[in-house]
Amino acid sequence: MILRRLFSWCAAPRPVADQKGLLPAADVPLHKHHAPRFTLVEPIAFDDESDESTPTGDAPRQLLQLHIELARIEPAIWRRVVVPDAIPLDKLHKVMQAAMGWTNSHMHEFKIGHSPVPKRIPLAKILTRAKSFSYLYDFGDNWDHRIEVEQCLPPQAYPRTPVCLAGANACPPEDAGGAWGYAAFLEAISNPRHPEHQAMLDWCGGAFDPLSCNLDAINRRLRRIKL
């Protein structure tokens, strides 16, 4: 039974991430792109893929508390969100965009290991295959998000979902060039003497606070998602 499998490994919540300033390495070149190499991998096959489980508009069987963290960036950019276990991945994509602060301007895919997962599969079903999975956004900048289940919760715990409970640090600007480009961007905007300082400020709209994480704004976006 799916729920019994989930309860067997749900871990306790992680401690809040370090809130120290974001100081990228000074020798990282501006907008250095490290585009990933792609190989064709067959999607993971699931039994009864046509059966997409109970629609998420009905009362959920269970809620899942997810920890979402953007890979290869320190201090960590992360969010803690609660979603129904029956949410299909195409709806979880919308939750990811709203919670992190992306603008849904690029392609994406969910993966278990190196294998893509069909987007209509319910979240609970993929968790019978793996304890964690990833969400790749923007195949050029290669924003890799690691997703883990922290807790299984009863539906009464959070009557309105999705909801973001906690988080740390701002989402990088779209098209920043991935982890390396973002580090170079932060170096430029944090140093008024940097030759690209004003150009980068103008590019991002005049100001950027890498330590900001506005839960009220995040949850306003999440409330617009119809499950």
Phi-psi group of 110: left, alpha or beta (phi > 0 → left; psi -120 to 50 → alpha; rest → beta): beta
Rounded distance, CA 116 to CA 99, Å? 22
Q: Give every CB contact of residue 226 below 8 A, 6+ residues apart in sequence.
A: none
Instruction: Decide: helix, strand or coil at residue 155.
Output: helix
- Using the predicted structure, report yes or no on whether residue 40 has a pLDDT greater than 50: no
Same domain as 84, residue 65: yes
Check whether residue 127 and residue 164 sit in a common domain.
yes
Nearest to 120 by CA among 38, 52, 209: 52
Question: Could you tell me if 124 and 178 lie in one domain?
Answer: no
pLDDT band at 28 (very low <50, low <70, confident <90, very high): very low
Residue 100 structural domain: 1-9+59-169+211-227
Do 120 and 205 belong to one domain?
no
Residue 54 maps to a domain: no
- Whether residues 87 and 152 fall in one domain: yes
pLDDT, residue 45, reads 57
Separation between Cα atoms, residue 124 and residue 89, nearest integer Å: 10
State the Cα–Cα distance between residues 84 and 159, nearest whole angstrom: 10
On whether residue 152 sits in a domain, the answer given is yes
DSSP code for 182: H
Question: In this structure, is residue 43 part of a structural domain?
Answer: no
Label residue 13 by pLDDT band (50, 70, 90): very low
Q: Report the pLDDT value the prediction gives residue 59, as an integer from 0 to 100.
A: 52
Residue 158 lies in a domain: yes
Question: What is the residue whose two structure tokens read 């190989």?
Answer: 39
Whether 132 and 215 map to the same domain: the answer is: yes
Flag whether 38 is in a domain: no
Coil vs helix vs strand at 126: helix
- Is residue 157 domain-resident? yes
SS3 115: strand
In a domain? residue 26: no
Q: What is the pLDDT of residues 66-108, one digit of tens each?
A: 999 999 999 999 999 999 999 999 999 999 999 999 999 999 9
65 and 148 both lie in a single domain: yes
Q: 49 in a domain, yes or no?
A: no
Residues 165 and 180 in one domain: no
Residues 157 and 66 in one domain: yes
Q: Tell me: the pLDDT tens digits for 164-175? A: 999 999 999 999
Backbone Cα Rg of the chain: 18
Indicate if 180 and 194 belong to the same structural domain.
yes
**Total number of domains constituting the chain:** 2
- Could you tell me which of 89, 77, 109, 90 has the C-alpha nearest to residue 176? 77
Q: Can you give the CATH number for the domain in which 4 is found?
A: 3.10.290.30
Q: Examine the domain organization and report whether 162 and 180 are in the same domain.
A: no
220 and 190 housed in the same domain: no
190-215: pLDDT as tens digits: 999 999 999 999 999 999 999 999 99
